[in-house]
Structure 1
Amino acid sequence: MRMERLGRGGTPAQVLASLAERARNLGVPPPAAVTGDWFGSAALIAPSLATGAVDPSDAFACPDIPEARTPGGPVVGGGWIGYLAYPDGSASGPSPEHSGRPAAAGGWTDTVLRLDADGCWWYETLGAAPCPSDLAAAVVEPRVRERFWHIDWSPPHRETHRRGVEQCLDAIRAGEVYQACVCTRFTGTWTGDPLAFFTAAVARTAPARAAYLQGPWGAVASLSPELFVSRHGDALRSSPIKGTLPLSADPALLRASVKDVAENIMIVDLVRNDLGRVAETGSVTVEELLAVRPAPGVWHLVSTVAARSRPGVTTADLLDAAFPPASVTGCPKIRARDLLRQWEPHSRGVYCGTVGMSSPLAGTELNVAIRTVEFGAGTCVLGVGGGITIDSDPDAEWQECLDKAASILALSTPRERVRADRTAAGCH
């Protein structure tokens, strides 16, 4: 294990872009990153990550050793970075956009660059090699060459989504479920560099649980605000999000909304049950209930459930108990998942799965892969959805989907921003 203090440098977006340029020059795989609020830090970047398909049961497998800390925060050193896709298909079969994409993919890195909460960059490695001078320069004095990207989005089919919501309401009235998360998706065609899209997105929207990785199978740019689960030693934590309003609305309306409050509390109970399957008896607690938090483009209701795991519980055991995330399934969970296969015409892919990192030093942190763009061969998808309760209105649920996607759809390419800036200045 080796650590070096690199000092202040570029922003996570700048450093990630600089490392991508370095990887291209060296002919090695591109970097991967988690940014926002991960392991007590503002960013963790693997300078180069070779990713490949893994068996879903092996995703995030990593030996756990006691957590180590320094004045700069928790030591991460390295670990496995990857994704685990949502496990359920749809009645119509797999989507063409997900063809060839593995159910789980990722890779191991012995080295990370960590931006601590005080704005200092650190070089950390599970080995003993010192930080290469060109790597340090890419962090402290990032040289960013603006790279082009462009996405042409097509909206979801509104009547198909309405039909799914109405079928869900019928199932609630019949007593089959109390709540379910009915999803739809935007589809797009893209050109350019997916990593440039991600760096632009995190620079402009600063999501709390963002993550990026790519490989021969494509790329995943997750702009999630939601923690699925963290595991540090025997401490487990999950912060489900249910309840949404656009940022232009009065956030107090969320706590006053019978529908949004009920939606959140039902999912909190489901998370308590999921964690309880691997927790010490009596250790499951609700640390925070119905907090109003901002996220890119919206306000959310966020609660936090904590627990202490039983001795011998592994990350695989935790995923068996809690995956897929409660907030994107429904209550009761198994029946909701069965019905969602019938109500949604497309498989979800990585959307509603999880992206994150597992470190032998720092533990495991995983997001809920919402606000997540999946890039394939010239096409991309952006899933959106919302929890349906007995008080749901199909038109309001459609608008919630649009609100959640708005901050991503509003992103423009660097070339388009330059054109817009020139127009605003009166240049032609």
Structure 2
Amino acid sequence: MPSSSFLNLLCPFDDLDVAFILQRLSSLTGCVYLANNNMPVIAFSPVSYCIKKSNFKALHYVRDHQSEYTQTALQDLKSFIDIDLTKNSQNFDGFNGGYIGFFDYNFSANQQIHNQHRQQPTFFLGQYLTFLRLENKKWIFYSTEENAEEIFNQINFLIFQKPTSSSLFSMMTPCQPRWDKTQYLHAFEQVQEYIQAGDCYQINLTQEFTAKTIGNLLDTAQDLWKLTNAPYAGYLKIDDFELLSCSPELFIDFESERKIVTKPIKGTMPRYVDSILDKQSKQILKSSKKDQAENVMIVDLLRNDLSIYAETGTVKTPKLFEIESFNQVHHMVSEVTATLKADIHPVDVLLSALPGGSITGAPKIRAMEIIEELEGTPRGAYCGSMGYFNFDGTGSWNILIRSVQKYQDELSVWAGGGITIASDGEAEYQECFDKVSAILDLLNTWYQPESSDKKSES
């Protein structure tokens, strides 16, 4: 484990937005951003990292050196993750040096069911000793590396140098649903048949929206983050793969003294400009017995998942059916807390709990099997998790909903919701668009038919 002695310096670019800084640092390996619920961090150039692409073996990289990392199972990642649970160096909230990355939905589900993967990175985890953290509206440079001052000078040079020309982001096709309404309703009816047969009692049925693109997805980031104002936003670029999170949902917070917190979202109603309509929409959600039933199913699932690792009697539900309002929707949110047993490694908790119950259904394994059968294509990063661990085991991981992934020229956005026996197909179909239509509308402003036609002709 590296020394905890930091070089910390005030950065001379406080007035620059996150996307601009990321664009200037994008040439650095593993450039990543986490909004982290108003504790933003930008990290880059990990000293080592693990990555897995599709069905290939995981690879372990050390700067300027690549070697095969043979332990590929999720539980064996602990041999890469150097966490000291006896170390209590955390004297503030947020990232303090450690590991940042993501696990995609299909990679996580594959630990329990047989499924397909997208042809793109399925997990990435880097060890970061150098990062920028926003404190009191000022970006502070932190590093425990020996050449920290050299790195500081390098990032200042990159941020203030004249940018090299690059292909601006544009869409060759509009972002449209892969399913039409008839196909969605057919899948919905199949879910209902499984529920009636007793296979499951909730399935999170989702659908994909796709487009052909050129350029860097990062060009859209600042507009998307401003639109959604999401507390668990983020960005990661790995070669020709980009992941842009606009997620409102926390999966697990790993706090000091072995406390963990999870806040499942289940239940959605649209926002309205008209304050009266908006208040009515919020009240409908608050009093919805159907949404409460869906929410409590997932709360029970998460309580069960966490109880395996928690001290007896510590699993609590301090908040149930609370309504939280975001830019486009109101959500029903509950909270489950627990205290981990003294000998439990937090990495075990995260990896065994993924994918999150709020985006699978219940019972989880059968729900994932039905999702694999019905959805028709792998989710990829959507419904996976992005976040960090500090070296002392504290950390925070989101659920990757309201997120955009781009691999090569393929852009993908997903939306869906929990289906129970009480669900209405038409309403569930509309809920997909309530959740994602604002993101789609914004993305489609980068679609220029005339430019696309000229590109095709050439």
Please give the range of the TM-score, normalised by the shorter of the 2 chains: 0.7 to 0.9
| 8 Å Cα contact 1:20-1:31 kept in structure 2 | no
**Deviation, structure 1 residue 20:** 2.8
Q: Which residue of 2 aligns with 1:401?
A: 432
Corresponding residue SS for 1:213: strand
Q: Which of the numbers 39, 43, 46 marks the counterpart of 1:42? A: 39
TM norm structure 2 = 0.79
| 8 Å Cα contact 2:95-2:388 kept in structure 1 | no
Q: Which residue of 2 aligns with 1:114?
A: 133
| 8 Å Cα contact 1:79-1:359 kept in structure 2 | yes
| 8 Å Cα contact 1:229-1:367 kept in structure 2 | yes
**Structure 1 vs Structure 2 CA RMSD:** 3.0
Corresponding residue SS for 1:219: strand
Q: Is the aligned partner of 1:2 residue 2:6?
A: yes
Length, aligned pairs only:
402
Structure 2: which amino acid aligns with 1:29? T
Partners of 2:403 and 2:226 in 1: how far apart? 16
Structure 1 unaligned spans of 5+: 418-428
Q: Which of the numbers 252, 267, 270 marks the counterpart of 1:246? A: 270
Corresponding residue SS for 1:132: helix
| 8 Å Cα contact 1:296-1:407 kept in structure 2 | no
| 8 Å Cα contact 1:278-1:321 kept in structure 2 | no
Corresponding residue SS for 1:269: helix
Q: Is the aligned partner of 1:200 residue 2:233?
A: no
Q: Which of the numbers 236, 242, 246 marks the counterpart of 2:260? A: 236
Q: Which residue of 1 aligns with 2:89?
A: 68
**Deviation, structure 1 residue 18:** 2.4
Q: Is the aligned partner of 1:351 residue 2:382?
A: yes
**Deviation, structure 1 residue 374:** 1.4
Partners of 1:74 and 1:135 in 2: how far apart? 25
Partners of 2:415 and 2:216 in 1: how far apart? 23
User: Which moved further from structure 2: 125-134 or 195-204?
Assistant: 125-134
Partners of 1:142 and 1:399 in 2: how far apart? 47
Task: Give the 5 Å matches for 1:27-426.
Answer: 28-29=28-29, 31-37=31-37, 41-49=38-46, 52-53=51-52, 54=58, 55=72, 57=74, 58=77, 61-65=81-85, 66-69=87-90, 73-74=92-93, 76-87=95-106, 88=109, 94=116, 98-99=118-119, 101-116=120-135, 118-127=136-145, 129-130=148-149, 132-133=152-153, 135=155, 148-151=168-171, 152-157=174-179, 158-216=181-239, 218-233=241-256, 234-248=258-272, 249=278, 250-361=281-392, 363-412=394-443
Structure 2 unaligned spans of 5+: 53-57, 59-71, 273-277, 449-458
**Deviation, structure 1 residue 137:** 7.9
Corresponding residue SS for 2:438: helix
Corresponding residue SS for 1:242: strand
| 8 Å Cα contact 2:167-2:214 kept in structure 1 | no
| 8 Å Cα contact 1:82-1:105 kept in structure 2 | yes
Corresponding residue SS for 1:283: coil
Partners of 1:381 and 1:22 in 2: how far apart? 24
Partners of 1:172 and 1:19 in 2: how far apart? 45
Among all aligned residue pairs of Structure 1 and Structure 2, give the percentage whose two residues are the same amino acid.
Answer: 29
**Deviation, structure 1 residue 300:** 0.4
TM norm structure 1 = 0.84
Partners of 2:209 and 2:447 in 1: how far apart? 21
